[in-house]
Structure formats: C-alpha cells, structure tokens
Structure 1
Amino acid sequence: MNWTAQDIPSQQGRRVLITGANSGIGFHTALELARHGAEIILPARTIEKATAAADRIKQAVPNAQIVPEVLDLADLSSVRAFAERILRLYPQPSLDLLINNAGVMAIPKRQLTPDGYERQFATNYLGPFALTARLFRAVKPVSGSRIVIVSSSANRVGRIDFENLQSERRYSPTSGAYAQSKLADSIFAIELQRRLTASHSPIIATAAHPGIAITNLQKSGPGETSLLNPTRIMTALLKPFFTHDASHAALPTLYAATAPDATPGGYYGPNGFQELKGAPAEARIPRMALDPAIAARLWQVSEQLTGIEFPIA
C-alpha cells in the first residue's frame, strides 16, 4: 500500500475537530482535510496561535472553513469550558471526525498541571479522554463518524503503572512518563472501540502513530539549547535515513481518519523500517494495549481522575 494524501476521499460537508493543529503534524493533518473540503475546528492554547494557524491554512486553501478556538488539554477546566462552547455552537450532533492529536514530549523535569497531574500524562492522555467524553454526544451517531487517537511508537516501551501514573515515585521523561501516556492512548482507542462495538454504535475508533518526524515536539525536548548536545548531533546525522517531514508523518493519522479500508480499532503507522517512516500501514500494537482487564481499570481510573463518567450508549 502506497497511500498518499491524494487518496483522501472528499471531506465536503464534514466537520472535523482536531487538537494540536496549530503546528507540526497536526497542522498538516488539518491542512489536508481542509484541502479536501472539511470544515475544521482548530483549538490551540491561545486564540492567537489558533488564528495564525487558520490564516496559514487559508493562504494555501482560500475557501477553507476554519474555526479558531482555545483549549489547553493539560487543564481540565479548559477542556470543560471548550466542550461547553462547542456544544452551544453546535447543539445537535454535528462532528463527523474528532482527532485527538495534541501532545507534549520528554519534559525534562516533572511538572504538575493545575489539577495536580503529571503534565505529559495529563496532556497526552487524560485531557483527550476528558475531551472525548464531554464531546461524545456531539459526534454524529452514523456510519462514517470516527474518533482518532494519535499515539506514538514509544508506546512499545511504555508500561501502565497504576501505582505511579503521575510519576510521583519516579520520573523518567521519555521511556517513563511519555511512553506511559502514549501506551494509555493506545489502550484508550482499543477500549473505546470495544465499548462502541458492544453498544452497536456506528461510530468507530481508530489510532495512529507518525513514526519519527522532527517537529516542535522534539525541539522542545531536553537539552536542545546546547549545540553540542549528543542527542541533537545524532539526530542531525540520522535524520535523512530514519525520519520524515511533518507532512508525511501526518499520513497515518489521515489514513486512520478517512480511509474507507481503516478498520474499527485499527492502528496505523509508517510501513518502513521499524515503522520510523514510510507510507501508512497497519502498525504493531503493544501486548499490554490488548489486555481488557488493564483497559477496564484504566478507564475507571480515568473517570475518577477527570471527574467525568463516560458511558457509551
């Protein structure tokens, strides 16, 4: 399969909400969906960032319909306020596609959100869980509606440690907190599909990971202020062989979001060596992500931490 953005079906008349679309992979995801006719709700942490991204898309797609909004996934009060605004603006089920794309990566020192949660776990997982729960009734209950969760190949080294979800006992920026948050995303996508299937919902949940792309996510990681940082030097040397740009890295998400062949509960990533780069294809799912008992427990804990009941009916 050599699926490209040209294979995206028409999105005319479809309304898409995508988080983290003001830059990087999310921006290119939104740009391609706009090119294919979708209306885009584009939230960012400030209205200035959202508006600037909307203007960039409109430069490339003059007729694009973009709705800038404000959302900070690390702050559950912001998630609640944003969801309430969307539900007021669109009182009937009107979302065809919800893409949970926003994330942070490898924060050098443990940080807490306004709710007291570790920032990577909160931004990458709890915020998307809460947003999906609050906006689930806004998703059209019809065939073709999708909820997409963007994970990471780092989920392979992740482990859900229910005794250390907030990294309060130990904190490891990448292989610990980040990998755990992205494994939680994969578990969420699969468990969401289990519940959608059990309730006979026509909505499907899919997931994707972008492989390795050099974006703002990596540039904000540890040690990037030093020109002699070994990680930075190694990245520069290996970049042409093992990474791709943000526009290509967006393809697995776009496939999960639009391809007619994408399956309920499917997980997609690049088809190249170690899923680092390449065209979209089925990706390897970590064994822990397939465990129903872990998924059920994580769902229950997530409801408790966010204070939101999330029944699928």
Structure 2
Amino acid sequence: MSVFDLSSRTVLVTGATSGIGFETARQLAVRGATVLLHGRTTDDAQAAAGRLAATDGVDADQLHALDADFTHLEEVEALARRVVVQHPRLDVLVNNAATAAPERHTLTDDGNEITFQVNFLAHYLLTCLLEPALTTAPGGRVVNVSSSLHRTASIQWSDPHRARRYSRLAAYAQSQLALTVFAADPRVTAVSVHPGICTTGLLPLYALDGSPAAAGAAHVVRLCDPAVEIVNGAYYDRAQRVDPAPAATEDRNVRRLNKLAGQLVGHRG
C-alpha cells in the first residue's frame, strides 16, 4: 500500500491505546496527520501518545491524548466538548473503540447493555456531537470500524439490551450491525470497514487466528485519505467495497436506529 501525506488532516481515533486503534493512530501520525488519541483513562491515552512519540518520523506535537470511559455517556459528552473547542475543524472521526461482550448480561449506569453502549451508542453520540466540527470544511468523514459478524446479527428493536435472551456473540454482532447501519446516516459522510480478523483483545472471543493489527489498520487509514473517494453508507471488507448485510442498507432501519439511539442516549445529540 502506497504511503500518502496526511499532514493537513486532523483525525480522532477512539480506542487508540491498543490493537487496531493504536496501529491506526501510528500509521496516521507517520503520514503527518494530527492525531487525537482516545483512551479509556488519562493514563492509558497519555501512555499511548508517549509510545507513538518515540516512533521515527512522528513529532510529539502531532499527538493529543484524550480520555473518556464509554460506559459513561456523560464522559462521551465531555470528550466531544473538548474536541469541538480544541479542534473546531475535525477532518476524520475513526469510531474504533470496542469491547468484547461479557459472559453475563451487564448494564451500564446509563441503563444500556454494555456492548451496545460501548461499541455503538457511545459512537452514535460522539458522532452527533462532533457533527459541527466534521462539517466545518468540505471532506469531513467518519470511518466506522465494524466487523463481518454484522452479517450474522439482528437488532432486537423491542429488546435492544437483550434482557430477555442474552448471548455474548449475538450482543457483539448486534452492536456491529448497528454501527454499520449508522454509517448510512445522512448527517455526516461515513463508511464502515471490516479490517479483517486481527490479533487484538477481541480475538479470544472467537478463537480464531488473526492477522497483525497493523494489517487491519492499513485498511482503516486508507479510508482516511481524502484522495480516496467514498460514498455515504459504503461498506468495505478490507480494501474491497462490497455490499453489507441487506438490513444495513434499508432506509427504514436507518430511521428506526436513529430514533432508538436518540432515545437511549437521552437525546443528547
């Protein structure tokens, strides 16, 4: 994959302290981008920025550490406020942060199933709140790091928190389908990408061999390049644009998901 210059771009990467998120941040920084590194805690984010600053060709001034625990929606709001004030022009938001679904059904303090909140609702809220920054200049875009597992999923509209019937794999897949559907929201140009099965913290859930995180990150970074033309709602399996699950392309599902997500985040967006 050719190296392209991103020195004029400012990119926020959620979940940038490990795995694909860290590698995405590293590859963006090497290409000259200003990178906002999100971590769950201040220490995590600052440690990731420190590791990146030691990379050849990366200037510490390019890196900005930000923290928010996505299991608390008020922290997502605070993150968005900081970004809008400090970086009123944001070129790309990479919605990457994700958690493996726990063995047992778990709710956050906000009352949402934890996987649905961390993997989707927090990103929904963050994207909505960052819309002014993303649309300040032409070319702003969102890249949702999804999974091919969205094809196995269904959104339980009457029970999105899966209180009646919980399966960790089904909960994770539902969160990925929601993230993929959300890419078709018309407010901000967005795409979804399955980066391949990579060796990250999520891998043990599926007991599969994975590619290096850097390989998956390269597919995410490519979509951050303004020279790569994208169509709102498009879905990529690594470098190839393909059709997502049929449910991800239905206008009714986009509207229904926006209504549900707005209710669950308290209309903060």
Q: Normalised by the size of structure 1, how large is the TM-score?
A: 0.80
Q: Deviations over 1:112-154 (max 9, x none)?
A: 1110110100001100000011111111433322111111110
* Alignment partner of 1:178 is 2:172: yes
Aligned structure 1 segments of 4 or more residues deviating by more than 4 angstroms = none
Q: Which of 253, 256, 259 is 2:220 aligned to?
A: 253
Aligned residue number for residue 63 of structure 1: 59
Q: Which of 192, 215, 230 is 1:207 aligned to?
A: 192
Q: Which amino acid aligns with 1:206?
A: V
Q: Contact 2:10–2:34 (CA<8 Å) still a contact in 1?
A: yes
Q: Contact 2:101–2:114 (CA<8 Å) still a contact in 1?
A: no
Q: Deviations over 1:181-206 (max 9, x none)?
A: 1000010001x2xx24xxxxxx5211
Q: Deviations over 1:199-253 (max 9, x none)?
A: xxxx52111111111211224x4xxxxxxxxx75xx3xxx2xxx31100011221
Q: Where do residues 1-313 of structure 1 align in structure 2 (5 Å cutoff)?
A: 4=1, 6-7=2-3, 9-60=4-55, 61-64=57-60, 65-90=62-87, 93-174=88-169, 176-190=170-184, 192=185, 195-196=186-187, 204-219=189-204, 221=205, 232=207, 235=208, 239=209, 243-258=210-225, 260-265=227-232, 266-270=234-238, 280-308=239-267, 310=269
Q: Contact 1:256–1:267 (CA<8 Å) still a contact in 2?
A: no
Q: Contact 1:18–1:99 (CA<8 Å) still a contact in 2?
A: yes
Q: CA deviation at 1:309?
A: 6.0
Aligned-residue sequence identity (percent) comes to: 35
User: Distance in 1 between the 2:58 and 2:136 partners?
Assistant: 31
Which structure has more helix as a fraction of its residues? Answer: 1
Q: Normalised by the size of structure 2, how large is the TM-score?
A: 0.93
Question: What value does the CA root-mean-square deviation take over the aligned residues?
Answer: 1.7
- Aligned residue-pair number: 266
Q: CA deviation at 1:286?
A: 0.2
User: Distance in 1 between the 2:67 and 2:228 partners?
Assistant: 33
Residues 1:62 and 1:255: Cα distance change in structure 2 (over 3 Å): closer
Q: Which amino acid aligns with 2:194?
A: H
Aligned residue number for residue 228 of structure 1: none
User: Distance in 2 between the 1:183 and 1:10 partners?
Assistant: 32
User: Distance in 2 between the 1:210 and 1:133 partners?
Assistant: 24
User: Distance in 1 between the 2:203 and 2:229 partners?
Assistant: 28
Gap runs ≥5 in structure 2: none
Gap runs ≥5 in structure 1: 197-202, 222-230, 271-279
Q: Which amino acid aligns with 1:204?
A: T
Q: Contact 2:125–2:268 (CA<8 Å) still a contact in 1?
A: no
Task: Determine which structure has more spread, i.e. the larger CA radius of gyration.
Answer: 1
Q: Which amino acid aligns with 1:257?
A: C
Residues 1:95 and 1:39: Cα distance change in structure 2 (over 3 Å): same
Q: Contact 2:94–2:143 (CA<8 Å) still a contact in 1?
A: yes
Q: CA deviation at 1:267?
A: 1.5
